[in-house]
Amino acid sequence: MATTDSPPARGYQPSDRLRDCLAAWKTALEETEPRAREDLEDGIAQELREDRQLTLAVLAGHLPWTDEMLRLLMASRDVPPRERHRQTEGDSVVYKPSERLLNLLAAWNLTVSDEKKARAGLETCIADELKAHPTLTNAEIAKHLPWSQEQVRVIARAHDVPRRRKRGSDHKLIEENGVPKAVTVPYDWYVQQPGADPAIVCR
């Protein structure tokens, strides 16, 4: 006997472009940038091992972190304690980062820039997806992203995405003595309907 149950409606599925943008951003965020940062921290530790008089404060002047942050980063890397500078005659020695450290810093900065570009590309892709599907809500697309619908709303506003059309279930039925009398509809939904009253649309 054939079943009378109708098949479940197919929900929203991200486009291939959105999947690719999401994968590229996750790779930059979770793999590429952390690996470059780990290499940079190893280079910092080596710099400190090779120069016992190099202080964290001096080294921090060449890095995007404070000396306190460097102290925390180096806590588990067997970096020997710093020696106090001894007064010497003549000009004091000016610390110059090694070529190795400068290269590691440049490589890490590049990965940070790439991660920001990948995120910007992902946000643009999300906005395009919302524009291409007028009935797609922030909550529905957020299910496929590592962000909440509130974050999706922020992205949508930043990219001038028209406000989402609400579902029919959001319409409110007004009854009188148990008999349906009228239906109130969301404004954002109404103004997008053919034949909407221009006086209401222009409000």
Residue-by-residue DSSP string for 6-27: PPPPP-----HHHHHHHHHHHH
Task: Please report the pLDDT score of residue 170 as a whole number.
Answer: 63
24 and 42 share a domain? Answer: yes
Identify whether the C-beta of residue 184 lies closer than 8 Å to the C-beta of residue 171: yes
109 and 194 share a domain? Answer: no
Q: Is 142 exposed, middle or buried (0-12, 13-18, 19+ CB in 10 A)?
A: middle
Read off the amino acid at residue 131.
K
138 and 185 share a domain? Answer: no
How many angstroms separate the CA atoms of 200 and 198, rounded? 5
78 and 148 share a domain? Answer: yes
Q: Cα 62 from chain centroid?
A: 27
- The residues, any chain, with a CB within 8 Å of residue 190's CB and separated by 6 or more, are 196, 200
Task: Please report the pLDDT score of residue 184 as a whole number.
Answer: 75
| Tally of domains in the chain | 2
Task: Please report the pLDDT score of residue 2 as a whole number.
Answer: 43
Q: Which domain holds residue 194?
A: 168-201
120 and 151 share a domain? Answer: yes
Strand partners, 182: 174
Task: Please report the pLDDT score of residue 86 as a whole number.
Answer: 54
Flag whether 3 is in a domain. Answer: no
Identify whether the C-beta of residue 161 lies closer than 8 Å to the C-beta of residue 132: no
* pLDDT per residue as tens, the chain (203 positions): 444 444 444 578 999 999 999 999 999 999 999 999 999 999 999 999 999 889 999 999 999 999 999 999 999 898 988 766 554 554 556 899 999 999 999 999 999 999 999 999 999 999 999 999 888 888 899 999 999 999 999 999 999 998 765 555 566 767 778 777 777 777 776 777 777 777 777 66
DSSP label at residue 52: T
The residue count for the chain: 203
Task: Please report the pLDDT score of residue 198 as a whole number.
Answer: 79
Task: Please report the pLDDT score of residue 83 as a whole number.
Answer: 67
Flag whether 23 is in a domain. Answer: yes
